[in-house]
Amino acid sequence: MLRSVRTYFLSPKAHNTVRTETEVRRHHDLSQQDISPLFRLEELKGLNLYECSMEEIQQHLSEGHFTSVDYVEFCLRRIYNVNPYLECIIEINPDATKIAAELDDERRQGKARGILHGVPILVKDNMATKDKMQTTAGSWALLGSIVPRDAHVVSLLRRAGAIILGHANMSEWASVRSSNYSTGYSPRGGQVRNPYNLSSSPYGSSSGSAVAVSANIVPVSFGTETDTSIIGPASINGIVGIKPTLGLTSRAGVIPISKSMDTVGSFGRTVADAVHGLNAIVGSDERDAMTCSSSRSQRKDYSKYLTTKGSLKGARFGLPNKRCWEFVAKDIRETALTVLKAIQEAGADVVEVDFPCAEDRIPGDGNWDWTYGKPSESEFSVVKVEAFQGINAYLSELSETRMKTLEDVFEYNQKNSGTEGAKPGDHSAFPTGQNNFQQIIQSCGEATETYYQALHYTQQKCRTEGIDAALKDNKTNTVFDALILFDRKGAGQQLAAQAGYPIICIPIGVDSAGLPFSLSLQHTAWKEDVLIRWASAIEDLVHQISGWRCTPEYREHLSKNIPVVDKSS
């Protein structure tokens, strides 16, 4: 309980020392000397871009210190140097340099489109790009297929002037094909490696998107989440992840899993960078009805909600305890307590709360599990039906491929089990083969009574009896400004996924194994502005008391183990 643990708060380091962001980062400019030369970021025209922010990159571009062509070539050299070890990039855009040159011309004509203009970014390999790259969800089965159009979010990124540098590797089929698999592995892309320890799990399914940002390959990237696929990789790779409200960003052109949970979000090394990414992909789309159901999905500038630690004065946060805080590991808890006390000393109040649905929706061991509960209560009962419908609809629009249904993909995998791991025991990355695909196909996509019961149950529990209930302070008849979690294993994050609510995470430290962990903030639907305000304020506070994020050290960089091991606390 929070009241009983307050006496164990640690004193924040250098609590009264105020440093600018540049001063905070300066220490880490030097810390590259502590890592293998293989992974040190080279300079670009005499400029040190290690941990450089989007604002700084854009300033360099606008002042002519280097061009977008220079920057793209710089990022490509970074990929060639580190991707053989990290395997976070599945394909490079052969037209990236040409596109950069065109955007350089626009800049010279005074037509820069915004903060993403001429900046290379990455998209997950399940986001369709109508160009010379393949969109395969990491599967050989879709190689050679041609998508009908860009995913809507990709078209928005192009419109914003971003350069699609390539596709990021991922857990194949966004983790839906198998119940037991090596996170971050895809047959086409190989095993994504965690840059903090290459033998440890990068989490998934947006593994490559998160690793590429953490490893200073690109400043911003984009991923998708059905359940913890943005927040999990962001946390374990020491960066910021934003999973928005269901319907804020379009899923059209994204290889689907669940229409009730899928969303597209952003990664950055800072809250501001992730917000700049989010800004570019928000907007209604007639091809995704969820984005048209509310006027709140209209485009707006979320960067105006960025703030500093001073805004924490008077804020009130809830800290869910049951099956959340009570499961936080000892070494993480010590740092978490430090941050919580700093938040309180900044003038905010932190109050212990509970999710009323905790025992119904969070497994007793605190681990992520989308099969938790009986069939009429299980998230996977929803996923099975919606994945069948969604994947078949997506495949039906592809050309130049024999993969027209999920059954076709299943059969392809069976015939190529040596590379696809369709049969248990054939590939170390897939101990259970494609057993989830088998269950999805058996569902025939039929919206049975069990499906509707499970959909209603999970949404009711995670919304009304979950996040919404925990946000209410019944003693004062007020609403907390946000909920704070330090959830490493993802069980608490599942509530936001099943509710379709937003969540944002910021890195706050590393555990005894040297792996990062985060503080995450949750709120009800359409409260991205609120979460951005508090996340940026807490990030500023953390930077002031303990320095910049702990950057990757690339331990065990020769590791080739598959499956990867979760070494986190």
Q: Which residues are annotated as catalytic?
A: 124, 205, 229
| Helix segments in 397-463, DSSP class H | 406-415, 417-420, 435-443, 449-462
Output phi, psi for 84, to 5 deg: -60, -25
Radius of gyration of the chain (CA): 22
Half-sphere exposure of 163 (CA within 13 A, CB side): 29
Q: Which helix (H) or strand (E) holds 218?
A: none
> Do residues 554 and 515 make contact, with C-beta atoms less than 8 angstroms apart?
no
Instruction: Give the Å distances, CA to CA, from 428 to 60, 176, 189, 191.
Output: 45, 17, 15, 11
Beta bridge partners of 267: 221, 241
Residue 422's H or E segment, with its range, is none
Give which of 147, 123, 391, 133 is closest to 255, Cα–Cα: 391
Non-local (6+) Cβ contacts of 28 within 8 A are: 50, 51, 547, 548, 551
In one-letter notation, the amino acid at residue 426 is: D
Q: Would you give the DSSP letter of residue 168?
A: E
Would you tell me how many other CB atoms lie within 10 Å of the CB of residue 301?
12
- Locus of tokens 């959909």: 455
Which pairing describes strands 89-92 and 163-168: parallel, antiparallel, or unpaired? antiparallel
Tell me the three state secondary structure of residue 216: coil
Q: How far, in Å, CA of 370 to CA of 355, rounded?
A: 18
Q: How far apart are CA 569 and CA 556, in angstroms?
A: 18
> Angle of helix 449-462 relative to helix 379-396, nearest 10 degrees?
110
Longest dimension (CA), the chain: 65
Q: Degrees (nearest 5) of the Cα angle 396, 399, 400? A: 130
